[in-house]
Structure 1
Amino acid sequence: MTDHADQFWGRLNDTNSGMLGTTDHARLVPMSHYADRDAGILWFITAKGTDLAQTAATGAQPAIHVVSDGGKGLYARIHGTLSLSDDRAKLDELWNAIASSWFEDGKQDLDVQLLRMDLTEAEVWATGGSLSFMFQIAKSKVTGDKPDMGEHYTLNF
């Protein structure tokens, strides 16, 4: 993969969450993602009663995941197809203390639902992070030049 892909996946792994929703509904909700670069998939753990899980239960849905982390220098709008998954091995792999906080009976809780987002495209803005931003703004005030705010690119999966 390209340097842009390495940059995107590396920074996405360092970012814990974003806003996830289906493109048919304007409502995006905060969700923690778990990235699988080799498969081009983002995984999410949610409850069966959530709007996202109920919408995905009707069949695979076009979805969007928006990530914004100035400290890591990543801003991305990620598109793909969201579907339900009953992959218990994947749930075992992803399960952690944060996920367990939401479910009384842990990963055995009957309300646990794994969501799978197969990625199709990501529009990415990659900056140097918050310190670099401040430096670029200060430099622009001294030199009169526009600040260098990093790279903007699109990845197709």
Structure 2
Amino acid sequence: MSDKRFWEAMDDVRAAMLSIGSARHVPMSPYPEADRNRMWFIGAAGTDLVEALDAGQSDGSLIVTGADHVYARIEGRASLSSDRGKLEDLWNPVASSWFDGIDDPDIRLIEFIPSEAEIWETTNSIGFMVEMAKSKMTGDTPDMGDHYTVRF
């Protein structure tokens, strides 16, 4: 998968599991920005992710499952951003459900810059069934798609 295909797949992701430093993985909505090789998240003060960033931890991990039959483990670095323009660009009904408006003092904008992604690209459910049936008839291992790494 090329960087381009990776970013196209990320455009279809609505939720993924983000971890930063010692903070456990939690579901977050990623907002990819392919032309700048980064993803954004709208977080909240007091959460484990933001507390890890406040404590100086920055190593991040993002787990993506099932977006366009793409599964990925993405490693990178995270930081807090005060970019009000970016927050305004990202603001949407999902974000507004978690906060008291865009000026809520608890909002924390998280910038995630990936360095490497390990990717599994699989067939759709029909393709999966065909591969399972074929493997039973031939005794061969089913072809479940491609597995590779993208470095940014």
> TM-score if structure 1 supplies the norm length?
0.89
How big is the shift at 1:143? 2.8
The aligned counterpart of 2:13 is: 15
Contact 2:22 2:52 in 1 (8 A): no
The answer to whether structure 1 residue 121 and structure 2 residue 116 are counterparts is yes
1:106 corresponds, among 92, 96, 101, to: 101
Q: Structure 1 regions of 5+ residues with no counterpart?
A: none
How big is the shift at 1:25? 1.6
Contact 2:24 2:48 in 1 (8 A): no
| Alpha-carbon distance between aligned partners in 1 of 2:55 and 2:48, rounded to the nearest angstrom | 11
Backbone CA RMSD of aligned residues: 1.6
How big is the shift at 1:60? 5.3
How do residues 37-48 of structure 1 correspond to structure 2 at under 5 angstroms? 37-48=34-45
How big is the shift at 1:26? 5.9
The one-letter amino acid paired with 2:37 is: G
| Alpha-carbon distance between aligned partners in 2 of 1:42 and 1:130, rounded to the nearest angstrom | 28
Q: Deviations over 1:70-125 (max 9, x none)?
A: x621110101101001111111111111111001x211111111100011110111
Describe the SS at the equivalent of 1:8.
Answer: helix
Q: Deviations over 1:39-68 (max 9, x none)?
A: 110100011111111211233511100111
Contact 2:32 2:38 in 1 (8 A): yes
Contact 1:12 1:74 in 2 (8 A): no
Describe the SS at the equivalent of 2:22.
Answer: coil
The one-letter amino acid paired with 1:52 is: L
Give the fraction of aligned pairs with identical amino acids, expressed as a percent.
47
Change (3 A) 1:93 1:26: closer
The answer to whether structure 1 residue 131 and structure 2 residue 131 are counterparts is no
The aligned counterpart of 1:77 is: 73
The aligned counterpart of 1:33 is: 30
Q: Deviations over 1:24-46 (max 9, x none)?
A: 42611111101111111010001
Q: Structure 2 regions of 5+ residues with no counterpart?
A: none
